[in-house]
Structure 1
Amino acid sequence: MQVFRDRDDAGEQLAERVRELGLADPVILALPRGGVPVGYVVAEQLGAPLDVTVVRKIATPDFPETAVGAVTAEGAPILNEGLSRMVRADDDELARSAEDERAEARRRVKIYRGDRPAPRVAGRDVVVVDDGLATGMSARAALSALGEEGAASLTLAVPVCSPDAARALEDVCDRVVCVHSPPEFHAVSLWYERFPQTEDTEVQELLRRAGV
């Protein structure tokens, strides 16, 4: 079942697909943590700048393992209304959770980027990279926030994706680039031979190498 040796291999294969788009001035924004090793290779292959866009999942106290939404450091929260109803999420609880996670997203941006300014997004071709697309909730939050910043075009680029999740994102980006889109999609990790957890220190090192 495995298609990729590791995230480096996935990044190399994905870079070829993104190169075919012929984007004039792309900026690669990776989703930490697992998307950063993939995004690093894509940025290196394309000679493009690399940075991060941090997304945090929103949950409720009663169901802490069930993500009912997602939020970035600056964008509006994205909620899955169906899931919210299923877990009987209270509006006040959701609002508190969203603000807590937004604060955590900002904290993580500081960890990864330090005092350096965010890259310019307005008028540029933005490529959002992750190591896979399962539900699409994090990607939707990232793409929606970047769209509000005036990106010239928005591309989501992932090595492997759920076809349903990819189609569901067509309203918030110009295109989804995916190397492998199996009709029977399971966990992202199943498509990699090696899929270790990416640590914050690795993210920081890759961003340092990329000149962020």
Structure 2
Amino acid sequence: MYRGSHSTQFADRTDAGRQLGERVREENIGADVVLAIPRGGLPLGRAVADALGVPLDVVIAKKIGAPGNPEFAIGAVAADGSIWLNDDVIQRQGISREYVAREREQKAAEARQKAERYRNGPPPELAGKRVLVVDDGVATGATVRACIERVRSEQPARIVLAVPVGSPRTIAELERMVDDAVVLETPPDFHAVGQYYRDFTQVTDEEAIEYLDAG
């Protein structure tokens, strides 16, 4: 399990992806498929998949926001309904089960629609495969957690998380959910993923699909 600790700024997501791909190869971590988390994870996923010579696909989840504060994630749900919830926050804020169930159904539908837009054809078979999950960074980790649960539901042989930068606390929690992890940077003063990129321009859906189709 590789976890860096110094603080480097990446030029952009492709640069981060190249560095991540090199590190994954140095660590001799094999993979049968790379699953990127859209949209920001796709430039990195493309670089990592190319470095390993394996196919690139997507795993998609949508955040569930708190009532009246959609930017504050209380959980996330993947396209198949796989869900991760921050139970402590939900209980502390008194958020109803009805609200969570309603949001879960709606956000899962949105994730399915996004997957259909990105992908031509069925999703890859993951049972018995070595799966590498890639994103551009991890802050609270809500989306990544739901994506990992989504992958785990298909009983792969191995799940590895690969990200260039993340909150030390969140990364430590995520490491317990996967078989291995490669993280280039875990800065002790982490605040937001974007601060570790010189260019953190938002990736459009059209650009994300181009990365997916480039293999």
Distance 1:52 1:162 in 2: 23
Candidates 166, 173, 176, aligned match of 1:171: 176
CA distance in 1, matches of 2:89, 2:139: 15
Corresponding letter in the other structure for 2:178: C
Name the CA distance, whole Å, in 2 between partners of 1:170 and 1:50. Answer: 22
Alignment of 1:37-186 (within 5 A): 37-114=43-120, 116-186=121-191
Aligned to 1:192: 197
Structure 1, unaligned runs of 5 or more: none
Query: How far, CA to CA, are the matches of 2:158 and 2:45 in structure 1?
Result: 17
**Which deviations, in whole Å up to 9, do the C-alpha atoms of 1:39-96 show, x marking residues without a partner?**
1111111111000000100124422221100010114221001221233211101100
Deviations 1:84-122 (CA, angstroms, capped at 9, x unpaired): 1233211101100011000000000001003x1111211
**8 Å contact 1:29–1:53 — kept in the other structure?**
yes
Which of the pair is proportionally richer in strand? 2
Q: Whole-Å Cα distance in 1 between the matches of residues 22 and 31 of structure 2? A: 16
Contact 2:31 2:52 in 1 (8 A): no
TM-score by length of 1: 0.94
Q: Which amino acid aligns with 1:126?
A: V
Partners of 2:36 and 2:57 within 8 A in 1? yes
8 Å CA contact 1:60, 1:93 repeated in 2? no
Q: Does 1:27 align with 2:65?
A: no
Give unpaired runs (5+ residues) of structure 2: 1-6
CA offsets, 1:154-206, max 9 Å, x none?
11100111111111013320122111111111100000000000000001111
CA RMSD of aligned residues (A): 1.4
Q: Does 1:18 align with 2:40?
A: no
| Aligned-partner Cα distance in 1 for 2:195–2:66 | 28
Counterpart secondary structure, 1:164: helix
The offset of 1:37, in angstroms, is 0.6
Q: 1:88 to 1:56 in 2, by over 3 A?
A: same
